Amino acid sequence: MKGRSISRRAVLRGAGVVLTLPLLESLPRRPLRAQAPEVARRFLPIYLPNGAHDYWWPGSEGRGDAWKLSSILEPFGDALKPKLNVLSNLENGSVFNDDGSPLLGSASHSRLAGAWLTCVDAQAVRNQLGLEEANGISVDQILAQHPAFLGKTPLASLQVGLSTPLASCDGEPCSSSRSVSWASRTQPLYKLVDPVEVLHQLVGVTPASDQTAAAEAQKRLMRNKSILDAVLENAQRTRGRLGTGDQQRMDEFLESVRAVEKKVVDVSSAMGGAACPFSSLEDLPRAEQSATAPRQTTATYDKGLHADAMNALIALAFQCDLTRVISYMLEDERSEFTYDNVQERAFTAEGSTPKARTCPEYHLAQHAGGDVFATITWWNVGKVADLCRKLDAIKEANGVSVLDNTVVLLGGCMHGGDHLGDRLPVALVGGGNLGLRTDQHLVLDKRPLRDLYVTLMNDVYGLNVSDFGQDRTGAQSARISQLLDG
């Protein structure tokens, strides 16, 4: 995989037409990798819906040999335990309640989910802005839009998920429970659930391999550009006839068109020039059929396969440095997906063994508690552990693994079947090369979730952020020093 960049001269010769200046200016830049090497710092929040079963939390605390994996975190195994950081006693109730209570009166699933990466109360933002759909900007998007990340990779960020049609939105806007990434207070970022769509996103337009093809590509590009010019002109004119409220809708549209325009024009940069093993993704077509099948049963839909495909794509995106920020939802919040592909297991604090029957639907299991809930949590953890192993197997130029340069944040928005917004399940994997202290079960003295984000943004990603999210108790946000090395 080489020669992805089109020589500007070759294009001009091949196209045989006079190009206008604006087009020349928007021709692809050289791949960034030619510049001085730097550590690619990555962030991968992975959303675990419906909270976690009690066997998530390790029975022992401390560092190294002092703590042991719990029976639900067991899939990480001895190999990944040294890269793990389990954080107990983080809470997000202080976003909602003056007294910091973890209790939410209503719609706790969707409201807590909405606050997972934003640490604000979406309802309050909606009321404040007078909109039917709003939230805070999410921590992954603060990173993606910051100069430390922006422009360093072809894609600023990526949102993916395994969700299926079966999830209730609790009467709130569905974006609260189905999109954890928010680019702004008014723009939820929809996630891609179809692995083939993720692949298309990653490949971008197919790069031309020789001069003739490059000329054809350039012509195609000019046609596309002429269409997009007309589209922009039309939308601008429409925008001018609208009131200020309605203009926001057109602004969102215009922004989306411009993003596509940029991608259409940046023909060669999408691959980043790295050795990207796209040919390794053999299972994708099968997963595509299943992910969008209207009726999902074990006969037509295999969530395990879906997860494996998504894991492969995430690893690929990081390996090729196509993006450094990905949010990944294992399911939507209040998922009612039936895990009848997963054998139920009998759990104790120490471990688990298979039982005879399969798991029921997720939300029912959450409230039934017991083995069915523990099993679904464990199964999801297993898929995340698979992904972490993949990331750990990819070595970077500086000798450490992609995982060491990535903070994988696996967590949920509520404790478990109690719907409470405290004692949240939170585990960090990786980040050892980014200054994180690892191999510990850190039992905190009740700290708000936003403290974790403030710590990551400042001490891991080098941003200068003094505050994030909302704390109705009036407390100032503070770093979690025990997370940091040295």
> Does 231 interact with another protein (rule: CB under 8 A)?
yes
> What whole-number distance in Å separates Cα of residue 305 and Cα of residue 315?
15
Half-sphere exposure of residue 301: CA atoms within 13 angstroms, side-chain side = 19
Q: How far is the CB of 138 from another protein (least distance, A)?
A: 14
Binding residues for another protein restricted to 405-444, rule: CB under 8 A: 417-420
Are residues 429 and 410 in contact, defined by beta-carbon separation less than 8 angstroms? yes
Query: x/- string (CB under 8 A) for another protein, residues 11-50?
Result: ------x---------------------------------
Which DSSP state fits 369? -
> Does 202 interact with another protein (rule: CB under 8 A)?
no
Q: Give the pairing type, strands 42-47 and 326-329.
A: parallel
> What whole-number distance in Å separates Cα of residue 303 and Cα of residue 291?
8
- Residue closer to another protein, measured from CB, 197 or 386: 197
Radius of gyration for the alpha carbons in the chain, expressed in angstroms and rounded: 23
> Does 221 interact with another protein (rule: CB under 8 A)?
no
> Does 310 interact with another protein (rule: CB under 8 A)?
no
| SS3 state at 451 | helix
> Does 259 interact with another protein (rule: CB under 8 A)?
yes
- Residue closer to another protein, measured from CB, 189 or 442: 189
Out of 31, 304, 369, 435, name the contact with another protein by CB under 8 A. 369
Out of 213, 340, 343, 472, name the contact with another protein by CB under 8 A. 340
Tell me, rounded to whole angstroms, the distance of Cα 88 from its chain centroid: 22
Return the axis-axis angle of helices 211-240 and 8-15, rounded to nearest 10°.
90
Binding residues for another protein restricted to 152-171, rule: CB under 8 A: 165-166, 169-171
Out of 141, 187, 352, 470, name the contact with another protein by CB under 8 A. 187
Q: How far is the CB of 231 from another protein (least distance, A)?
A: 5
Binding residues for another protein restricted to 102-141, rule: CB under 8 A: 102-108, 130-133
Q: How far is CA 144 from CA 158, 199, 385, 389, 461, in A?
A: 10, 20, 25, 24, 11
Q: Give the pairing type, strands 84-91 and 352-358.
A: unpaired
> Does 174 interact with another protein (rule: CB under 8 A)?
yes
> Does 235 interact with another protein (rule: CB under 8 A)?
yes
> What whole-number distance in Å separates Cα of residue 340 and Cα of residue 360?
6
Tell me, rounded to whole angstroms, the distance of Cα 168 from its chain centroid: 21
Q: How far is the CB of 190 from another protein (least distance, A)?
A: 4
- Residue closer to another protein, measured from CB, 228 or 444: 228
Residue 400: burial class (beta carbons within 10 Å; 0-12, 13-18, 19+): middle
Q: How far is the CB of 196 from another protein (least distance, A)?
A: 9
Total residues contacting another protein by CB under 8 A comes to 83
Out of 361, 463, 465, 472, name the contact with another protein by CB under 8 A. 361
- Residue closer to another protein, measured from CB, 68 or 220: 220
> Does 305 interact with another protein (rule: CB under 8 A)?
no
